[in-house]
Amino acid sequence: MFYIYCPYCGEHREEEEFHPKGQAHLARPENPDECTDEEWGNYLYFRDNPRGIHHEIWVHAIGCRKFFNVTRDTQTYEIKESYRMGATPEVTHANDPLS
């Protein structure tokens, strides 16, 4: 079980209050009408599957119902940080001491 910190409630809560919503920081092509099929396909269907640091979206579904981001290590399952939408993660693959 995860014990997840919700940056909006300012508290740790049990995992059953949350839902995972997949990879975070996906940038939608600015002009979908003019991007290539490959760019649009990558945006729509292709996701990273890293070993190590992964940024993902979670929603506090049974709580404040806000979406936020979590940085999680996919090897150890350790949650490194959670941060609000629009914020920049402090732990990234580049500065992870273990990777």
* Residues in contact with another protein by the rule CB under 8 A: 8-11, 13-14, 16-17, 62-66
Nearest CB to another protein, comparing residues 35 and 64 = 64
Q: Tell the smallest beta-carbon distance from residue 53 to another protein (Å).
A: 27
Nearest CB to another protein, comparing residues 68 and 73 = 68
Q: Tell the smallest beta-carbon distance from residue 43 to another protein (Å).
A: 27
- CA dihedral (91, 94, 97, 99) positive or negative: positive
Name beta bridge partners: 6.
11
Nearest CB to another protein, comparing residues 15 and 90 = 15
24, 69 contact by CB (below 8 A): yes
Q: Tell the smallest beta-carbon distance from residue 61 to another protein (Å).
A: 9
C-alpha to C-alpha distances, 93 to 7, 15, 74, 85, 98, nearest whole angstrom: 22, 24, 12, 19, 9
Kindly state the DSSP code that residue 15 receives in the 8-state scheme. Answer: G
